[in-house]
Chain A
Amino acid sequence: MTRSQPWYFLPGPAPWPVIGSTALFLMAGGAAMWFNGVSSGPWTVLAGVLIMVYMMVRWFGQVIDESEGGLYSRRVDLSFRWGMSWFIFSEVMFFAAFFGALFYARVLAVPDLGDLEQKLLWPDFSASWPTAGPIAADPFTPMAAWGIPALNTLLLLSSGVTLTIAHWGLLQDRRGALNLWLLLTILLGATFLGFQMYEYGHAYSELNLKLSSGIYGSTFFMLTGFHGFHVTVGCIMLTTIWIRCLSGHFKPDHHFAFEGVAWYWHFVDVVWLLLFIFVYWI
């Protein structure tokens, strides 16, 4: 049973949400125009992105000030914990949709396309994975698991370890270790992203594997692409808390922002493991 403290920090009126909504409106409307060839589309998106970055810097900045100003009680801290956990849960469900698409394609859709009924339509199609479908434009080579992807697995797993060592440093108030291991985590994440970009270039230029390479290309690039996007966001979050660590923020008993970022990083890590197994390996 919970016991409520008499004091719970309630923020005053804030302009940030409506600024964020304006940004999203510009980004969404601009992207819809962009994709349909309206020349002002990209600029509208850019304006939205800039406003969004400004909003996030200011809003998060205010939250950091409040946190360092001691306005957040244990109960506020607990709210953040619940909030972050369920946010990560919603992210899991977002990836579940794309993994679901991958499993459905591999187990149901592609075998169906190769069954007897479809033989009249596409006599030469053999339903084996990976495939670009019965009307594949160009042949492609699938991405091998044991080159860069395996190395990337190692990088991300190590980054989970270094992050945990940094956390120990924070808990034991060894700030030097905290800053060092956190920096190492960021570098591992950045290296992962660098390899990932190299891999995409390799896929496009040498393997002829593209986003438009049928269902294999679709699931490969959308799953790894969204994961890469999440790693990028994770790196930005890690950098933010690294700068905060350097400025002397966080105490051994009060550092939820650090833990929230760590949870997020481990989530990204687990998603990668599933990607490595189901997209690259088997």
Chain B
Amino acid sequence: MSASIHDTARAGHGGGEDHAHHPSGIMRWVMTTNHKDIGTMYLCFSFAMFLVGGLMAFIIRTELFQPGLQFVAPDFFNQMTTLHGLIMVFGAIMPAFVGFANWQIPMMIGAPDMAFPRMNNWSFWLLPPAALLLVISLFVPGGGPAAGWTMYVPLATQMGPGMDFSIFAVHILGMSSIMGSINIITTILNLRAPGMTMMKLPMFCWTWLITAYLLLAVMPVLAGAVTMILTDRHFGTSFFNAAGGGDPVLYQHIFWFFGHPEVYIIAIPAFGVISQVIPAFSRKPLFGYTAMVYATASIAILSFIVWAHHMYTAGMPVTGQVYFMYATMLIAVPTGVKVFNWVATMWKGSLTFETPMLFAVGFLFMFTMGGFSGLVLSMAAVDVQVHDTYYVVAHFHYVMVAGALFSAFAGVYFWLPKWTGRMYDETLGKWHFWLSMVFFNMTFFVQHFLGLAGMPRRVPDYALQFADFNMISSIGSMGFGVSQVLLPYIVYKAVRHGAKAPQRPWDGADTLEWTHLPAPAPYHSFETPPVVK
């Protein structure tokens, strides 16, 4: 062991002769301490989870294709909505952006790797056991968790053993996030190349720095919340039990103190990717960089003081409602700063619309839509009408899918040439975008109408008047799901048969990985830090 430590230490010294020194086969991936290997694993794991969560969405939408109970029992339907949410949030979207962080942050700041490479490996390898626990929960007596991804009590305290497996899965996912965040913060604060001042950081690194702080602040709170559920379930505590002096609403407060920042944990790295892609294809620097940094930080700070807007119908004094309403609306200001700055970046730019840019512009439109429906929901008086209806479902899918997921797609197409050294098929990429865009809107736009008309979420059956829109939505979701098969094919085709990518395929891309590193990026990059002017 000590010999291998010495070898790598020397390799780290900038020897260069020992470039891709690692075990081969599966052990390369199990034991790796390389940020690029770990980033790749994160992205592949995320896509696998995206397919698993997508399968659950498929079951949900198949059942909802027509009124009446066709395919699944109501309890299993609830397990599907719950696990779809948990898997998509914790298994698909969050790991996808951690994957980007792993690949990009060291290359963008001129660091040799992440600050704690072994802990980085652990952050990733905690995810498969957690996912396994979630899947196991489906096969224990009583089935998987069926309390919704929010795991509200008293549902969560009454459910079978599946809930315990989910609780422990959440604990492990939280550990993974905390270690990942510590790694990202330390890397950005401590491993920047000489001359890379904080206000020269690429926007993607800024967004991840801020996101990592959010994760550090709220993941332990979630761990506390689910621990209280666990002890209420098995050890006779009364945190959420009124008979013992507790309060079920307390769970909602603790959960949403985590849950609202969690929304920005997903959205802010997405902003970061978009902030790299739009300038690259506008051939202009990002408009209002400083304002973007402060706007992102403001969004993050505000996210801590708005949580109860998820709980307007749980019973709250009017003054409380008014406070949370105005605080929530305040978030629209820094978010508006960001959206206008992206648009201003494009203003008078020499624009081209390759696939990453298409996804970024799609993001811009759709995320803004999701933001607007969020504003509608922030009004307590309106929210009381549409709380827990499909309007909410439509809102957060605009933010999560057309927001975060589209931005992840933009990032994959944007950086694929740097990662693999190959260009993807532009025509197929454009097909991927347009199919996703059309089917996404077909699926979720109509859900606004369903919600406004009063269709509640998390129900396997519904009244007849909702039939048409549900059928449209179900057809759209099938189309969206099938379109996603294009992505692995496009990546496979690029790696196998793609044209060789130049070092800098996008004219306007000017961060270090484009200006200093060849394509594909070498296994160890920036062993000697570049000097940034």
**A interface residues (Cβ-Cβ under 8 A, vs B):** 1-4, 6-18, 20-22, 24-25, 28-29, 31-33, 35-36, 59, 62, 65-66, 69, 71, 75, 78-79, 82-83, 86-87, 89-91, 93-94, 96-98, 100-101, 104-105, 108-110, 112-113, 131-136, 210-212, 214-219, 221-222
22 A-B contact pairs sorted by A residue (CB < 8 Å) = A4-B192, A9-B9, A10-B8, A13-B27, A17-B121, A17-B122, A18-B31, A21-B125, A25-B129, A28-B133, A35-B164, A36-B164, A62-B1, A65-B2, A75-B190, A94-B221, A101-B239, A133-B246, A134-B242, A135-B244, A211-B237, A218-B238
Chain B nearest Cβ from A237, distance in angstroms: 17
| A100→B31 contact, CB < 8 A | no
The reply to whether B116 and A28 contact each other, CB–CB distance below 8 Å, is no
Residue of A nearest to B123 (CB): A17
Q: How far is the CA of A3 from the CA of B185 in the complex (A)?
A: 17
Interface 1/0 per residue, B221-246 and A, CB below 8 Å: 10111011011011111110111111
- Interface-central residue, B133, B161, B167, B237, by most chain A CB under 10 Å: B237
A193 CA to B250 CA, complexed, in Å: 31
B529 touches A35 (CB 8 A): no
Which A residues lie within 8 Å of B218 (CB)?
Answer: 93
Once A14-B31, A25-B129 are accepted as A-B contacts, the answer to whether A222 and B194 lie under 8 Å apart by CB is no
CA gap between A212 and B220 in the complex, in Å: 24
- In Å, the complex CA distance between A156 and B115 comes to 34
A134–B243 CB distance below 8 A: yes
Whether B220 lies near A97 (C-beta < 8 A) is yes
Contact between chains at A83 and B116 (CB < 8 Å): yes
Q: Residues of B at under 8 Å CB distance from A?
A: 1-2, 4-5, 7-9, 11-14, 21-23, 27-28, 30-33, 110-113, 115-119, 121-122, 125-126, 128-129, 132-133, 136, 140, 160-161, 164-165, 167-169, 171-172, 175, 178, 181-183, 185-186, 189-194, 197, 216-221, 223-225, 227-228, 230-231, 233-239, 241-247, 249-250, 253-254, 257, 524, 528-529
A210 to B236, CA, bound (A): 9
Contact A59 B224 (CB under 8 A): no
Nearest to A131 among chain B residues (CB) is B245
Instruction: Please report the C-alpha to C-alpha distance between residue A94 and residue B8 in the assembled complex, in whole angstroms.
Output: 37
Are A25 and B132 CB-contacts (below 8 A) given A83-B115, A86-B181, A109-B247?
Answer: yes
By a CB distance below 8 angstroms, the chain A residues around B254 are 97, 100-101
How far is B139's CA from A29's CA once the two chains are assembled, in angstroms? 13
Task: Kindly provide the distance from the CB of B360 to the nearest chain A CB, expressed in whole angstroms.
Answer: 31
Q: Please name the residue on chain B nearest to A7 by beta carbon.
A: B13
A109 to B236, CA, bound (A): 18
Q: Is the CB of B164 within 8 A of A32?
A: yes
* Contact partners of B164 in chain A: CB under 8 A: 31-32, 35-36
A28-B171, A36-B164 known; A11 vs B117 contact (CB < 8 Å)? yes
On whether the beta carbons of A217 and B224 are closer than 8 Å, the reply is no
Query: Is the beta-carbon distance between A216 and B245 smaller than 8 angstroms?
Result: yes
B23: chain A residues at CB < 8 Å are 13
Q: Are the C-beta atoms of A214 and B192 separated by less than 8 Å?
A: no
Distance, CA A221 to CA B115, complexed state (A)? 38
**A133/B31 contact (C-beta < 8 A), A18-B125, A25-B133, A62-B1 known:** no
Hey, which chain B residues are within 8 Å of A2, CB to CB? 189-190, 192
B residues less than 8 Å from A79 (CB atoms): 115-116, 186, 190-191
Q: How far is the CB of B118 from chain A (nearest CB, A)?
A: 5
Further pairs besides A90-B178, A222-B228: 6, Cβ < 8 Å = A3-B194, A16-B118, A33-B161, A93-B219, A96-B221, A135-B244
The minimal Cβ–Cβ distance linking A76 to chain B, given in whole angstroms, is: 8
B30 touches A15 (CB 8 A): yes
Chain B: minimal CB distance from A185 (Å):
26
* A109 & B112 in contact (Cβ 8 Å cutoff): no
Q: What is the CA–CA distance of A13 and B234 in the complex, to the nearest angstrom?
A: 40
Q: Are A89 and B33 in contact (CB under 8 A)?
A: no
